[in-house]
Structures are given as C-alpha cells and as structure tokens.
C-alpha cells in the first residue's frame, strides 16, 4: 500500500481478515521498514502491519535511538525518540484507521517499545519484546493496568545479561501489566522458538 507522508519512513500492510489487532513492527540495529514484515506475517497472520524505519544512524545502520556504548543508552535521546515514535503511531492510526497496535520489537526495537510502555502507556494495546533490556536506570511511575506484555530472552545472550530483562519484567508487572517472561535456549538472534511463542501469545490475545 502506498504510504502517506507521515513523520517516519514506513511500510504499511492493511489487514486481510478481522480479529487480530494491528501490529507495530520495530526492527533491530541495521534493520529497516521491511526487516520484520515476514515476522509480523508469521506471528499475526492477516493483521494490519505498520513498520517504521528508525531515524538514528550508527555507522550507517538505522536505529530508533542513540546509545553511548553497547548496552549503555543515551536516555535523554531515548525519551525524546520514544515521544517522537508515539506521535508517529498516533498519525498512522488516524491515516490508516487503526486501533491501538501491539508492538512487536526486536533488540533496539524492543528497547524503544519498552521505553514507550513506561513513557506513553496509551500508545500500545500490548507488546512482544524480543531480547529487550530495561530502558532506564530509574523508571518514572506509570500505570499499565492489565496491559499484556510478552518478554522473550535468550539464556546465552552475550548482549543482554539475564538479570536485566528480569528487572524489566518486574518493573512492568509493578505498573500493573500482565507480563509473561520466557527465557529461551538461545543467544541474541531470533530463533524458531521466538516465532512459536509469539504466535501462540498473539493467538490468545486475538481470541480475547
């Protein structure tokens, strides 16, 4: 579908069947607006897919926010970029006639989705966070009553120490979110188990 001139370069695929909520696809470092389309089709078949390209470049690779080093976020930039992305979601919902989407983010995309849950809790109907890290050293109080969140971590992830997503899960649960955190036998890369767990979670969510 031809994309209107919104604030992010993006790709949009309209829904082809009723039922599943729209999905906001948020790529990892070096990805773009096409990167997670196949994942979205697998995890939420028939759902509307909205996939923006991150505006920050690191060595020529798109990201959604700056970092100071691997695993060390520029939190001021992250806050600004999370607000900017939430504004894009609002624009896209109006342009395409969408309900609140479920975020499906991988790595850098999962991290900005986690930040948006804590800063702009109205932006999403839920989130799947694959290889996410806790986005802020100190999170501001937020209310996420019943918001469904699936966090998928890798037991041998060399980038994300396992205690970090455990803290993220605890932070979101303390805010009232319905959090499921699974530690899968893998590293930082996507594995088949991510697809299987995400599809089952989305199926439950769509079924109500």
| Concatenated DSSP letters of 63-126 | ESS-EEETTEE-HHHHHHHHHHHHHHHHHHHHHHT--PPEEEEETHHHHHHHHHHHH-TTS-SE
How far lies 35's CA from each of 41, 61, 119, 142, in Å? Answer: 12, 13, 26, 31
Nearest residue to 181 (alpha-carbon basis) of 167, 161, 196, 191: 167
Full set of structural domains in the chain with CATH: 10-207 (3.40.50.1820)
CB atoms within 10 A of CB 70: 8
Q: Which pLDDT belongs to residue 30? A: 97
pLDDT digits over 132-171, tens only? Answer: 999 998 877 899 999 999 999 999 999 999 999 999 999 9
Per annotation, catalytic residue among 157, 181, 194, 198:
157
For residue 107, indicate whether it is catalytic: yes
For residue 122, indicate whether it is catalytic: no
For residue 10, indicate whether it is catalytic: no
Per annotation, catalytic residue among 7, 77, 188, 203:
188
Which stretches of the chain drop beneath a pLDDT of 70?
A: 1-4
């Amino acid at each position: 579908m031809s994309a209107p001139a919104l604030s992010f370069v993006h790709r949009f695929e309209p829904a082809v069947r009723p039922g599943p909520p729209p999905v906001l696809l948020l790529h990892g470092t070096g990805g773009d607006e096409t990167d997670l389309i196949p994942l979205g089709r697998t995890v939420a078949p028939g759902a509307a897919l909205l996939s923006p390209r991150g505006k920050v470049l690191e060595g020529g690779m798109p990201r959604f926010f700056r970092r100071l080093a691997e695993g060390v976020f520029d939190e001021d930039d992250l806050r600004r970029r999370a607000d900017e992305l939430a504004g894009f979601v609002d624009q896209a919902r109006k342009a395409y006639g969408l309900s609140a989407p479920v975020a499906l983010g991988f790595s850098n995309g999962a991290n900005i989705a986690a930040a948006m849950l804590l800063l702009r809790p109205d932006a999403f109907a839920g989130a799947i966070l694959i290889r996410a890290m806790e986005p802020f050293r100190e999170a501001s109080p937020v209310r996420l009553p019943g918001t469904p969140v699936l966090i998928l971590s890798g037991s041998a992830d060399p980038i994300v120490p396992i205690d970090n997503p455990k803290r993220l899960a605890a932070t979101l649960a303390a805010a009232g979110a319905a959090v499921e955190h699974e530690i899968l036998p893998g590293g930082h890369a996507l594995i088949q188990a991510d697809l299987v767990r995400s599809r089952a979670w989305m199926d439950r969510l769509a079924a109500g």
